[in-house]
Chains A and B, each alone.
Chain A
Amino acid sequence: MKRKIFSAIIIGAVFASCQKERLDPIPQTQLSDAVAFSTPERAAQQVNGIYSALKQGNFYAGRFQVYMDVRGEEFINFTNNGVTAFLTWNFTQTPTTNEVQNLWAAAYQTINRCNVVIEGIAAATLADNLKKQYTAEAKVVRAISYWSLMQMYARPFTEASGPASPGVPLRLTAITSSGNNNIVRSTVGDVYTQILKDLNEAEVDLPLNYATADLNTTRAHRNTAVSLKTRVLLSMGRYADVITEGNKMVPAAAPFQAATGVANRLNPSIATTFTTYNTTESILSMPYTNLDLPGTQNSLNSYYNPGPNGNGDFVLNTTGNGIVANTNWTATDARRAFNIASGGQTYLRKWPKNAGTDPDWIPVIRYAEVLLNVAEAEARQGTGLNARALALLNAVRQRSDAATTLAPADKDALIAAILLERRIELLGEGLRTADVTRTGANFAAKGSVGAYGPSSNLYIWPISNAEILTNKEMVQNPGY
């Protein structure tokens, strides 16, 4: 009997010795790469995933725009916090500075997500028109990402030696495994060529519009590609082409409203643009909800608002050459309503809410910028005072300051007025560095920080040290 018990137990133990199915668990909260594009719904979600990369904390949630703006003269750093762009403001960035490494990584994460989706969609079973549309959307996001990288890490295209100088690596295929580290920097010219190629191809395949106003603001449509082209071409100094593209969205005379696709136009009141996020002025914005937050210390709200709704890392520079102190920006201008004094400082409150509970949407491109892009391109044509340019400039100015009609004396004064208007209209929206570098201007002195001109190596950022370490073909920018 005893023997039987013993045998039974041992045989039982041996049979129970391995549970095969437990050795192959299937993840319950992620989709494996084998099925990630297997249904139309998944393909659609993949496209949303691309935009999510663009709007991540280290990119268009706010950090990118902050870096672009605080290098300029409009803001004074208040918190001295190395985590929130102090080094960028202070021009003490190095290859290991967090903003330098993190922006680089975020932009390329976005680019690779575009590439993964472009290839995933190509192989998926999906209606042809959707395939084309989704691919076009990915190309728009890829173009924005490359344009953003070029503003910080490469010399401006508009310099004499600009197009031939080192740009950034062009990654155009999906990377999902190791062994892809080494890649050379393409030239600035090649990168801009690729950006335009993406936008041109996207324009053809993008829908004219979407079913809802929300989608028209948060997904790329045909006018999105066109508007971005005016920005990119302006960065390249190709003014005639800016006009050609701009004409697709901007009529020759007022009222200025896009004739095809989404009827993009200025809101009657600029305040509306920042309270109602899905108006047609907002060509592309990044949506946030209380379930889809920009993250701590990432949002424009956090950088520019005083407490309790922000950290107040940067206050407006109310002295010297800061735009707030400029008397050409009249006291009655509606846009001054965004400048709120508090505790002895003046804060920019375009995005006034608490981003931890009630985040604002963040604009990527607005119709006002398109108008100013076309205005500047027109103004630089010929030798005289360009009438259309002046009309567009005043359209932007008088929306917020009806009492003022700008009347510059000559071509140069007109260009200067347009550049000034950009500082007023687009304050805090992440274009200052682009406007400084494409025009070859100096980063003006502010607070305790001196001026840095095109001859300074600090004029552009260094390449991320993480890239230098892993990419054997990478070459650092001079001076770093």
Chain B
Amino acid sequence: MRKLVLMVLGLLFFAGQLLAQTRQVSGRVLDESGKPVPNASVTVKGTNQGTTSNADGYFTLSVPANAKLIVTAIGLTAQEISVGNNTEVNLTLKAEDKAMQEVVVVGYGTARKKDLVGNVASVKGSVIKDLPVQSFDQALSGRATGVSVTMPNGVLNNPPVIRVRGVNSISLSSFPLVVVDGVPTYSGNVGGTASNNPLGNINPNDIESVEILKDAAAAAIYGSRASAGVLLITTKRGKQGRARVNYDGWVGWTKAFNLIDVLNAEQYTTIKNEGLTNLGTPPVPAPGTPARGFFTQTDANGQLIDTRWYDYIYRSGMQQNHSVNVSGASDKTSYFFSAGFTDQEGMLRGNDFRRVTARMTVDHKVNNWLQLGGTMNYTNSTNAAPNTGSLPGQAFGIAGLGRLPIILAPNVAPRNADGSYNINTAANTIGQGNNRTALSFYNPVYLLENNRFTSENDQITGNVFAQLNFTKWLNFRTIYGIDNLNVQNKEFRAALHGDGVQFGGAAQNTQQTFRRWNWQNLLTFDKQFGEHNVNVLVGNEQQYTNQQGWGADRRGQTDIFYDEFQGGFASIVPAGNFFGENYLVSFLGRLNYNYGGKYYLSLNARRDGYSAFAPENKYGNFYGGSVGWVLTNEKFFQDLNTDNWLNNFRLRASWGLVGNNQGINDYAFYSFFNSGLYGTQPNLFFSQAGNRNLRWETSTKTDIGFDASFFKSRVNVEFSYYKNDIDNLILNDPQSPSAGIPGNAILTNIGRMVNTGFELAINTTPIRTQNFVWNSNFNITTLRNEVKSLAQGNADIFVQTSGLEQPSIIRVGESIGSFYAVRTNGVNPATGQRIFTYRDGREIQYNHAATQRWTFLDGTAAPRGADQANDGVIIGPALPRYTGGWDNTFRFKGFDLNILFFFSGGNYVYNGTKAGLRDQRNWNNMTEVMTRWQKTGDVTNIPRVVFGDNISNGSGIVISENVEKGDFIKARNIALGYTMPKSVTDRLGINSIRFYGGMQNAFTITKYTGFDPETSTNGNANGSPSVDRNSVPQARTIVAGVNIGF
């Protein structure tokens, strides 16, 4: 060893002698704030001579005459400097413009952010990995422009509503395509009563980054599936260097928040009895006629029974999450292994989510022309939930736990004095106690303790690739991926009470399998010709998906002991059967060109064939293009010397045509007949009216904007105007019911809808000192959605909520799903009756106690009642007109504080839950009802209570009283962390350790009177957003966690 050192020194000396003209140069490297930069690399251009700066930034080096030095340092922009005749060279390195150096994953490849003309939002895995969510998509809320992510409610693993630049379809899906490491995966809800978002099968901790492709330039390469945007998930891979081990773990506690106060037992009996009196059927009537009144009761100890049903339904849920990964890489081989475990209790009793994941990724360079690699992920997850009543279609279920605690009478108890359930078996309702009028809902405690709903996933995803490098500038890559998802949904409904009674106790098991393979072959050409940079991609992609479901419902428990499917039951009925397959074949190409980093041009094209369309309409052609111009790289601009305040300015524009087939039935164009039974005999019946002319829904996307960096990249601004013009909308064209077409609709390419808006992102570092840094990122996206044409001469489409109510309308000239209600005008102080407004403006009032219920305000009989069909008017848009986020990170020494605000507004929310909370049947009411009208002259918003009245409150008719402004700002996430100093970690023998505490959904500022204006009873439905009908509220979660690196 010593010999070697001597030899090298000798050689150096020899070299020194040989190059007689070399001389010593010394210097110092500083950063912009004037601090020394240690460990900066200083090399002589064109040689491998070099040195590094010392702790104070000084260096010394011998250089030949007229040498140029290249100085680089981590986090700073490399600089080249001529030595000339100087013996001392001092230089200041600018902070690296990180945003511009970043590599961003794009469709079928990667690009440097500065070379990217398309509109791509990027979210780093590090910002989502520590959040108390079930699926990564929930964590994207407020993080990126143009991407609106709202949580429907606090049910665990309920898919969030994701909209990339507005609603992009009416009858098909508006959820973006989700691609994991190049292979599209499943989204939506594959569960039953228990929600199950398959994206929850991805461990958020395995994610390196999420890219959201928004405009045509970025997304058109995904052709037929790009209309609603594309989410590209890139999982972690090994990085050069020694093996690293990371552990991330947190524990959390979650609770419902913003619950609405309801009447207590005494208030309840007061209101209901007053209602009976006002109806003319007094609670304690003349002898001989049946009593109808509501009365309190006491328990065995003489205590008043006053049940707060919330306490039986909600809880403080405990959550924990652990994730470990090992990664590293040598020159040839890189690897990443991880394991994850999460166990989360929800705010609702019986709502639990558990997930176990394992992932392996290996990449290997076999030789200079062949690279191989692959990744494999296995996930098992179980979603358990009660009937939350909060998933699409469940809103009016009488077993839904969103609704039961707010409408159940508080003067009855869940259990009798002897501990048995308080149940009225004959009526299959909760026991009515001392009330003389029957109650109409189930006892939720029985449901929670006896019914069971689970949805379990086993998902295996994997892909292998091989890359052949023919030359440095030409390579061929083939990637084959599989994505197999098995879902087992199990339900048990007990026989004694609730919705299991009708089946005498029933256990249902259904199995769903989704099997997919995807094969891509891509040829990439990438070469520089002087200032011309050319990148060409041509390729082929095929994807086949087979989906099948089967199962059965076993009914009639032979003994109450049996609660598993395999137990003793009297009968069995098929359940959950489906069968489908689809195949997509695509040919794609892309040209990226730039000249000297100044002028950018990108063109892409794709031809897609899809199996669900008729043979003559299988294929669609999609294409896009974009141009960019970096003004700051122009000589004339540099001459302006704007560098001090404007250091980067780029204009960009894109246009393209993409398609949509997401969510279309596998056999959409067929007319066919289904089989069933007529008693014991087989039957056959017309079940689908197909449409052979069905073809691709298309979306023309235009995007114009600029990127600018000010004050040496302390302030970065991205601005875009966008327009999505969606044409040939595949609509469930409503057929008049008298035509008798199955489902009263035929899928047809009719209709047009346009989304326009602006996106603005401002990323700043207002403060950056050695010890204190404040990063503040603000983004806002506006949206103007307008339906331009519809089927049947632009006939309105009314969109139902859970099959019972139609607060939403799709009408030409309006935003999709706008609220359509009968206008109300408060309560008439003279009569205490709710005032409704005919469409022509005349006002009428409603008295449930009268034979002539509808009268004009002067008391004369009205010709008809108000109803939605005759008197409905558009109240306003349901889609937020703006959404955004404001993300602040403060760092002080070892501390870091992150506060993320999410805001949304400009729209209305239909507070249907409030209709229920004011309903004058036997339902409990919100405490506001105590301010009801009682005597002439009372000015209040609560009408005179009349028992049985379900009109004045809006249960029977959708009224504007229940359509409220939906503006809000929410502290989505607050997290405070502390990273231990190196001196401590060194002593502990670990690399890094950080502790943190945080709160998800800390608070909401809003005037909305329901639980939460961030709500979606209809989930991801396109035509009925912002409906709040009997859903549970959002959860607030507090976490404490640790990140350890070894």
Chain A residue numbers with a CB within 8 Å of B664 are none
A405 within 8 A of B: no
Instruction: Find residues 420-436 in chain B having any chain A CB closer than 8 Å to their own CB.
Output: 424-429
Shortest Cβ gap from A78 to chain B (Å): 6
Chain A residue numbers with a CB within 8 Å of B863 are 479
Stretch touching chain A among B13-21, B308-316, B526-534, B796-804: B796-804
Please tell me if the beta carbons of A471 and B502 are within 8 angstroms of each other in the complex. Answer: no
Please tell me if the beta carbons of B869 and A465 are within 8 angstroms of each other in the complex. Answer: yes
Q: Complex formed: what's the CA distance from A347 to B495 in Å?
A: 21
Stretch touching chain A among B120-128, B734-742, B827-835: B734-742
Chain B residue numbers with a CB within 8 Å of A104 are 737-738
Chain A residue numbers with a CB within 8 Å of B681 are 45, 48
Chain A residue numbers with a CB within 8 Å of B666 are 25, 27
Proximity bits, A3-40, B CB within 8 Å = 1, else 0: 00110011001101111001111011111110010000
Please tell me if the beta carbons of B685 and A292 are within 8 angstroms of each other in the complex. Answer: no
Contacts beyond the supplied A25-B667, A171-B739, A181-B792: 4 A-B pairs with Cβ under 8 Å:
A23-B585, A48-B681, A49-B678, A178-B746
Q: Complex formed: what's the CA distance from A310 to B737 in Å?
A: 30
Shortest Cβ gap from A253 to chain B (Å): 36
Tell me whether A9 and B739 are in contact in the complex, defined as CB-CB below 8 angstroms, given that A18-B542, A24-B611 are known contacts: no
Instruction: Find residues 170-226 in chain A having any chain B CB closer than 8 Å to their own CB.
Output: 171, 175-178, 180-183, 214, 218
Please tell me if the beta carbons of B737 and A470 are within 8 angstroms of each other in the complex. Answer: yes
Shortest Cβ gap from A67 to chain B (Å): 16
Interface size class of B (residues with CB under 8 A): 35 or more
A311 within 8 A of B: yes
Pick the residue among B502, B570, B671, B685 that contacts A296 (CB under 8 A). B502
Chain B residue numbers with a CB within 8 Å of A96 are 798, 806, 867-869
B544 within 8 A of A: yes
27 of the cross-chain contacts (CB-CB < 8 Å) are A22-B581, A30-B673, A31-B672, A45-B684, A51-B678, A92-B951, A92-B956, A104-B738, A105-B744, A108-B737, A113-B740, A171-B738, A177-B746, A183-B736, A214-B679, A214-B680, A306-B425, A307-B426, A345-B426, A355-B502, A356-B503, A357-B571, A358-B556, A464-B737, A467-B738, A469-B795, A470-B795
Instruction: Find residues 287-329 in chain A having any chain B CB closer than 8 Å to their own CB.
Output: 287-293, 296, 302, 306-312, 319
B interface vs A, CB < 8 Å? 279, 281, 289-290, 369, 396, 398, 424-429, 438, 440, 468, 470, 476, 478, 495-497, 499, 501-504, 506, 519, 521, 523, 540, 542, 544, 555-556, 570-571, 573-574, 577-579, 581-583, 585, 587, 609-611, 615, 618, 666-667, 670-691, 733-742, 744, 746, 748, 792-793, 795-796, 798, 803-804, 806, 851, 863-865, 867-870, 921-922, 947-948, 950-951, 955-957
Chain B's interface: helix, strand, loop or mixed, by majority? mixed
Chain A's interface: helix, strand, loop or mixed, by majority? loop
Q: Complex formed: what's the CA distance from A28 to B674 in Å?
A: 11
Tell me whether A356 and B921 are in contact in the complex, defined as CB-CB below 8 angstroms, given that A306-B427, A479-B863 are known contacts: no
Please tell me if the beta carbons of A49 and B792 are within 8 angstroms of each other in the complex. Answer: no
Q: Complex formed: what's the CA distance from A31 to B735 in Å?
A: 23
Shortest Cβ gap from A219 to chain B (Å): 9
Please tell me if the beta carbons of B687 and A175 are within 8 angstroms of each other in the complex. Answer: no
Chain B residue numbers with a CB within 8 Å of A472 are 793
Please tell me if the beta carbons of A19 and B427 are within 8 angstroms of each other in the complex. Answer: no
Tell me whether A479 and B864 are in contact in the complex, defined as CB-CB below 8 angstroms, given that A17-B521, A23-B609 are known contacts: yes
Please tell me if the beta carbons of A30 and B667 are within 8 angstroms of each other in the complex. Answer: yes
Instruction: Find residues 67-102 in chain A having any chain B CB closer than 8 Å to their own CB.
Output: 78-83, 87, 90, 92, 94-96, 98, 101
A110 within 8 A of B: yes
Shortest Cβ gap from B572 to chain A (Å): 8
Please tell me if the beta carbons of B440 and A6 are within 8 angstroms of each other in the complex. Answer: no
Please tell me if the beta carbons of A23 and B618 are within 8 angstroms of each other in the complex. Answer: yes
Chain A residue numbers with a CB within 8 Å of B618 are 23
Q: Complex formed: what's the CA distance from A111 to B741 in Å?
A: 10
A158 within 8 A of B: no
Pick the residue among A50, A94, A345, A356 that contacts B868 (CB under 8 A). A94
Q: Complex formed: what's the CA distance from A51 to B497 in Å?
A: 33
Q: Complex formed: what's the CA distance from A33 to B611 in Å?
A: 19
Please tell me if the beta carbons of B804 and A82 are within 8 angstroms of each other in the complex. Answer: yes
Tell me whether A83 and B795 are in contact in the complex, defined as CB-CB below 8 angstroms, given that A354-B502, A465-B869 are known contacts: no
Tell me whether A469 and B798 are in contact in the complex, defined as CB-CB below 8 angstroms, given that A214-B679, A355-B502 are known contacts: yes
Q: Complex formed: what's the CA distance from A358 to B503 in Å?
A: 9
Please tell me if the beta carbons of A308 and B425 are within 8 angstroms of each other in the complex. Answer: yes
A457 within 8 A of B: yes
Please tell me if the beta carbons of A31 and B869 are within 8 angstroms of each other in the complex. Answer: no
A343 within 8 A of B: yes
Shortest Cβ gap from B262 to chain A (Å): 18
Please tell me if the beta carbons of B691 and A22 are within 8 angstroms of each other in the complex. Answer: no
Chain A residue numbers with a CB within 8 Å of B581 are 22, 25
Tell me whether A13 and B521 are in contact in the complex, defined as CB-CB below 8 angstroms, given that A45-B675, A171-B739, A292-B676 are known contacts: yes
Pick the residue among A6, A42, A290 that contacts B470 (CB under 8 A). A6
Q: Complex formed: what's the CA distance from A326 to B744 in Å?
A: 45
A387 within 8 A of B: no
Please name the 4 residue pairs, one residue from A and one from B, whose CB atoms are nearest each other, closest first.
A112-B740, A287-B679, A307-B428, A49-B685
Please tell me if the beta carbons of A25 and B685 are within 8 angstroms of each other in the complex. Answer: no
Pick the residue among A5, A90, A115, A467 that contacts B737 (CB under 8 A). A467
Tell me whether A292 and B679 are in contact in the complex, defined as CB-CB below 8 angstroms, given that A357-B555, A465-B869, A470-B737 are known contacts: yes
Chain A residue with minimal CB distance to B748?
Answer: A178
Chain A residue with minimal CB distance to B428?
Answer: A307
A375 within 8 A of B: no
Chain A residue with minimal CB distance to B746?
Answer: A178
Chain A residue numbers with a CB within 8 Å of B396 are 82-83
Tell me whether A9 and B476 are in contact in the complex, defined as CB-CB below 8 angstroms, given that A168-B738, A467-B738 are known contacts: yes
Q: Complex formed: what's the CA distance from A387 to B517 in Å?
A: 81
A382 within 8 A of B: no
Tell me whether A95 and B869 are in contact in the complex, defined as CB-CB below 8 angstroms, given that A25-B581, A83-B396 are known contacts: yes
Chain A residue numbers with a CB within 8 Å of B795 are 469-470
Q: Complex formed: what's the CA distance from A2 to B369 in Å?
A: 9
Chain A residue numbers with a CB within 8 Å of B690 are 33
Tell me whether A45 and B682 are in contact in the complex, defined as CB-CB below 8 angstroms, given that A6-B468, A357-B571 are known contacts: yes
A140 within 8 A of B: no
Pick the residue among A2, A31, A87 that contacts B673 (CB under 8 A). A31
Please tell me if the beta carbons of B609 and A95 are within 8 angstroms of each other in the complex. Answer: no
Pick the residue among A25, A109, A308 that contacts B501 (CB under 8 A). A308
Please tell me if the beta carbons of B957 and A94 are within 8 angstroms of each other in the complex. Answer: yes
Q: Complex formed: what's the CA distance from A474 to B739 in Å?
A: 13
Q: Complex formed: what's the CA distance from A464 to B736 in Å?
A: 10
Tell me whether A52 and B685 are in contact in the complex, defined as CB-CB below 8 angstroms, given that A22-B611, A30-B667, A448-B948 are known contacts: yes
Please tell me if the beta carbons of B736 and A470 are within 8 angstroms of each other in the complex. Answer: yes
Tell me whether A18 and B585 are in contact in the complex, defined as CB-CB below 8 angstroms, given that A177-B746, A469-B795, A470-B792 are known contacts: yes
Chain A residue with minimal CB distance to B744?
Answer: A105
Please tell me if the beta carbons of B673 and A175 are within 8 angstroms of each other in the complex. Answer: no
Shortest Cβ gap from B510 to chain A (Å): 16
Q: Complex formed: what's the CA distance from A45 to B587 in Å?
A: 45
Q: Complex formed: what's the CA distance from A5 to B366 in Å?
A: 15
Proximity bits, A329-350, B CB within 8 Å = 1, else 0: 0000000000000110101000
Pick the residue among A42, A94, A343 that contacts B865 (CB under 8 A). A94
Please tell me if the beta carbons of A290 and B740 are within 8 angstroms of each other in the complex. Answer: no
Tell me whether A290 and B741 are in contact in the complex, defined as CB-CB below 8 angstroms, given that A27-B667, A94-B867 are known contacts: no
Please tell me if the beta carbons of B573 and A182 are within 8 angstroms of each other in the complex. Answer: no
Tell me whether A218 and B542 are in contact in the complex, defined as CB-CB below 8 angstroms, given that A176-B689, A183-B736, A343-B426 are known contacts: no
Tell me whether A343 and B478 are in contact in the complex, defined as CB-CB below 8 angstroms, given that A94-B865, A110-B740 are known contacts: no
Chain B residue with minimal CB distance to A296?
Answer: B502
Chain A residue with minimal CB distance to B666?
Answer: A25
